Structures are given as structure tokens and as C-alpha cells.
Amino acid sequence: MRIITAFAIILATTVGPVSALQAQAPGPRPDAKTEKPKKATRNVSGTVRSAAGDTVVVAGRDKGRDAEWTFAIDPMTHIRKGSKSIVAGDLKPGDAVQVRYLERDGKAQAESILVKAPRK
């Protein structure tokens, strides 16, 4: 009888902690379809048509055709000419640029604009 009582005590003290550990186990991992996809950046190269404080218009070629893009600029947009940071107002028509941008709310938002050195 003592053996059965001892066995019951051991069983009662180990079952509680084990079931508590099982209750803390993480739930199922989210499905890849439910996770939001990362927004992909895109790059274009071309020449500046016009620039203002909050937009820049760039003309170039896309898939073998002439194209023109209007990019929104905000304070987080990095604009560089050589080793210097500049503002959108410093861009001049005809400047060769490379623009990295994201599509947000149906608008192209420039993340960075790099003014390329003129060809010699």
C-alpha cells in the first residue's frame, strides 16, 4: 500500500508541471500567405526633366520604350551628388540620375537619388 501511495504522490507532482509546460508551448507558426510581403524597391536610371521640393520627374527608357516617372520626395529621401548630400532643388534638368524607389499608395516614393558624374 505504501508503494501505491508513493507512486500516486510522484505521479501527482510530475503531471502538474508537465501539463503547465505543454500549455506554454507556442502556437502554430503563421502561414507564409498570411504574412505581409516585403515591399520591393525598384531602380530606374534617366535624366532629370524637372525638380521641385517634393517631386522630381525623370525621363528614361523602360523595356525598350521612352518613359517618364514622377517621384515623390520626403525628408527621408537621400539625395547625393558625388560625396555631398543635396536637396531636390539642387537637381538640374539634364542631370543623369539613378533613383531607388518604392510604390506606396499608388505613388512612386523615392528612397534615394544618386546624381551620376557627367561623361567625359
Please state whether the predicted TM-score (pTM) of the whole model is above 0.75: no
What is the pLDDT at residue 104?
A: 87
Asked whether the CA dihedral 9, 15, 18, 23 is positive or negative, the reply is negative
Instruction: Quote the CA–CA distance of 71 and 108 in Å, as a whole number.
Output: 5
In the chain, the domains with their CATH numbers are 42-115 (2.40.50.320)
What is the pLDDT at residue 69?
A: 96
What is the pLDDT at residue 33?
A: 56
- pLDDT, averaged per 10 consecutive residues of the chain (120 residues), comes to 62 56 55 59 95 93 93 95 91 96 93 86
Backbone φ, ψ for residue 4 (5° rounding): -65, -40
